[in-house]
Structure 1
């Protein structure tokens, strides 16, 4: 007995732990939303390319586009042009689109459009970078000024991270004569980045330029320059103006390196204008779109991978254990008497079609009339099988009559009574009549009321949209429920109704 109890405890612990771990993995690792109403940001980015083409010259336009291997995933990417060929190539971690045409003249306009999201971007790419670089050659006063700046930087830094931060801080001190000399009167961000790179190169610290776009709706955007360096394990990002470390979450890396955003062969005056807007999409629908556009197939092996019609069936089926759990609690803890365990659940399923109030009325009418017929047939001394056949036929006829009368009276809800499980109604009538004979009409009435109450509570819980979504999306929760049901199987304590029945004994 003791080994059996231990076996049951281990089984319950295993099921509950497995259910919790799988559900937690779906929520926290895969990022599946807990509620159906959850939405996620969707960003639409348009890059408008304008230039003037030289007549009689072939045109070749090259522009960097986001590599999309970091925190964002593309849902749609399109290149809009007229009579231009389009190709994309990768180099040094960047992506570059090339528009080409044999002939073009006058003002030209091309568009690049990108729709992206962040939630389902998957794991970050673990790309690596150099940890050493050669010094940039510098002579004369610039060399003396650079060495004068590096002396206090080395003194106030302990590692690569603090060395870069201190360098940016020194270069942004425009009152320093050495900084003025190196900037040569140009305090622009690209020129500061040039001086920072010079100082870091003398210390053999590699540095790369990172060009980003800030995701902000309804605001004109232009590429924002950041700096990054690899410390042997991770990339460190720095703002060249403020020295702020860490790339903000609203920055999208567009390209890396010293090359300009766009180059035009066979044209002049290239200009790129960015426009962004933000929208929201249902998180689960977004997950499906992401699943189709990336390698993250986390929904493929979920119930969402089934055909839509099959999904609708399973959304009903998967809630049956919830109804069974309600009946289990009402019977084992509450002491409510019902016609078995599954009859109330099946009646609760029928209420989905008839709606609750109308379903209770129909159930009461059909059961009452069926009991009357069953009582009459009992006087004819028929065997069980013929008796059930007559009752079943009577139930079918009665359902047809109620549907016809409801239609004539304009009560279209009555047409759904045809979906009531006729076999369940027939067996309910038969079992109630047997209970009536064996234990009296009062007990049969009590059992009928208990069955209706249990079916009603089960129906109300089984039709909660939030609960249906949660169980359908995270079916591992059913393992936790099975663990609870197993624990309930060993409950031998008093039921709630028994506490009222034996209240006098408790006083003694």
Structure 2
């Protein structure tokens, strides 16, 4: 490299040094001052739970009331806040529990309100809720022939049970397997809601029950309805039952949101209201970090942080922050090692699809689509179509292949095959076109080399993106992407030999050895 060439590149080297130093300083600052851990294992989880309320206002005064959770022996609330521009908000303790109440003098059109809270595991475990015996519920009466069916079902379960606890357990077990019970199938024609039907059958036996809502913290989720369980008074305390699984007790890592008969959401001055919940797991900070973060929420810098976004968008960025690492892998494999791929960043898109389908099923789906697409493309080549119409036909063909695979997978009971839509159809169609042209001009060997290189890189990127420790690090320290950016800029000016090209010098090495 000449001195003049090096002189022209000094701004690039200076920029790379700045990016690396800035990213390293930011990581060091967050790890040492704010308590972020570099590894996932060293931290305790904190769950950010967000309830999204949506409705359409009628141009009148609006009042929104939402039941909200409170501290328990299992989970403590670290922080809670409301995101509702233009609304006033208050938290009130009522006989039915805590409620968040938003109000506004006048509103019209679609409205969005977010209630957000951080909770962490208190390690105390859920405890039974002791309470004085509630009144015996009124026995419902169904129309015939459903009433006779219900009475016979309750009587048969009563004979096989010893007390209210065993009766409730047996009923819930049969409810969870209703497809094998003709009586329950008949009753579900009248009331298709499993929770509602279960409570009615309990009332026939004289057992009090109530609806309980909660949120599972086992995995990240976006905009899902709250999970419904049944609280049953079995003689000494209220106990939870899951009518869909038949399990007794509070599920693992389950945040109890509301217990009792009061409504979850009330909206005055609006219509079409609904509430959905998103969950994302983050690193648990130290006590000092908790206090500092409450102060940071008021700063302009924190207001620009990704952590202030709604959880749905945060879950998206959790994957996006790992993509630059995949780009670095592609650059290293192509520019330093010298592997050929079908398309520059197609391996990253394939890796993202593999994250949804899992690796082996994803490879099978990809091979089937490419094989079918190449077969149809070979026929289209005989029609001598122009490039753009040919690509358009390829896209339509890929869509039909995806639809066929989804339908066949559904009929066979294979859920993975129905995730074929996660593969980028435009990229698949373009890949089929390029591979077909390469086969015609350079031979099938070149096609296999490119396909093998693409799959090799895609697998490496998939293994990187699916690693929990790497995902945690890139999400907790997105500043690491500044370092990756600097490395890619340095690799961008590399013009030396690739590793796969070094074999050309083997004869020269052998001749040199003979000369010695």
Q: Please, what TM-score do these two structures have when normalized by structure 1? A: 0.50
CA distance in 1, matches of 2:45, 2:494: 48
**How far is 1:491 from its partner?**
1.6
Please report the RMSD computed on the Cα atoms of aligned residues, expressed in angstroms. 2.9
CA distance in 2, matches of 1:6, 1:27: 31
CA distance in 1, matches of 2:406, 2:45: 48
Aligned to 1:4: 8
Aligned to 1:338: 341
**How far is 1:2 from its partner?**
3.2
* Counterpart selection for 2:25 from 2, 21, 26: 21
Deviations 1:64-96 (A, max 9, x none): xxxxxxxxxx969xxxxxxxxxxxxxxxxxxxx
**How far is 1:403 from its partner?**
1.0
Shift in alpha-carbon separation, 1:412–1:352, aligned structure 2, 3 A? same
Q: How does 1:276-425 map to 2 (within 5 A)?
A: 283-284=284-285, 290=291, 293-294=294-295, 300-425=303-428
| Residues paired across the two proteins, number | 275
CA distance in 2, matches of 1:386, 1:404: 27
Shift in alpha-carbon separation, 1:438–1:307, aligned structure 2, 3 A? same
Shift in alpha-carbon separation, 1:454–1:294, aligned structure 2, 3 A? same
Q: How does 1:219-234 map to 2 (within 5 A)?
A: none
CA distance in 2, matches of 1:344, 1:351: 10
Report if aligned partners of 2:45, 2:283 keep a CA contact under 8 Å in 1: no
Aligned to 1:481: 484
Aligned to 2:197: none
CA distance in 1, matches of 2:297, 2:395: 52
**How far is 1:285 from its partner?**
9.3
Aligned to 1:30: 34
CA distance in 1, matches of 2:380, 2:506: 42
Deviations 1:249-301 (A, max 9, x none): xxxxxxxxxxxxxxxxxxxxxxxxxxxxxxxx952497886467555768654
CA distance in 2, matches of 1:18, 1:293: 25
CA distance in 1, matches of 2:289, 2:308: 9
Report if aligned partners of 2:347, 2:457 keep a CA contact under 8 Å in 1: yes
Shift in alpha-carbon separation, 1:294–1:491, aligned structure 2, 3 A? closer
Report if aligned partners of 1:75, 1:293 keep a CA contact under 8 Å in 2: no
Higher Rg: 1
Q: How does 1:145-160 map to 2 (within 5 A)?
A: none
Aligned to 1:495: 498
Shift in alpha-carbon separation, 1:5–1:506, aligned structure 2, 3 A? farther
CA distance in 1, matches of 2:35, 2:433: 51
Aligned to 1:451: 454
Report if aligned partners of 1:38, 1:282 keep a CA contact under 8 Å in 2: no
Report if aligned partners of 2:343, 2:431 keep a CA contact under 8 Å in 1: no
Deviations 1:457-481 (A, max 9, x none): 1111112111111111111111111
Shift in alpha-carbon separation, 1:430–1:288, aligned structure 2, 3 A? farther
Report if aligned partners of 1:335, 1:495 keep a CA contact under 8 Å in 2: yes
CA distance in 2, matches of 1:377, 1:287: 66
Q: How does 1:193-208 map to 2 (within 5 A)?
A: none
CA distance in 1, matches of 2:358, 2:37: 29
CA distance in 1, matches of 2:389, 2:452: 28
Deviations 1:232-258 (A, max 9, x none): xxxxxxxxxxxxxxxxxxxxxxxxxxx
- The question of 1:467 aligning with 2:481 is answered no
Aligned to 1:432: 435
Q: How does 1:70-149 map to 2 (within 5 A)?
A: none
Deviations 1:336-368 (A, max 9, x none): 100232111111111111111111111111111
Worse-matched range after superposition: 33-42 or 304-313:
33-42
CA distance in 1, matches of 2:377, 2:45: 62
CA distance in 2, matches of 1:16, 1:313: 25
SS at match of 2:337: coil
Shift in alpha-carbon separation, 1:291–1:396, aligned structure 2, 3 A? farther
CA distance in 2, matches of 1:41, 1:445: 45
CA distance in 2, matches of 1:287, 1:429: 55
Shift in alpha-carbon separation, 1:495–1:295, aligned structure 2, 3 A? closer
Aligned to 1:85: none
Report if aligned partners of 1:75, 1:290 keep a CA contact under 8 Å in 2: no
Shift in alpha-carbon separation, 1:292–1:331, aligned structure 2, 3 A? closer
**How far is 1:490 from its partner?**
2.0
Report if aligned partners of 1:27, 1:34 keep a CA contact under 8 Å in 2: yes
Report if aligned partners of 1:315, 1:472 keep a CA contact under 8 Å in 2: yes
**How far is 1:497 from its partner?**
1.3
Aligned to 1:133: none
Shift in alpha-carbon separation, 1:337–1:39, aligned structure 2, 3 A? closer
CA distance in 1, matches of 2:297, 2:345: 40
Report if aligned partners of 2:34, 2:289 keep a CA contact under 8 Å in 1: no
Unaligned runs of 5+ in 2: 47-76, 80-118, 121-281, 512-516
SS at match of 1:502: helix
Aligned to 2:191: none
CA distance in 2, matches of 1:478, 1:424: 25
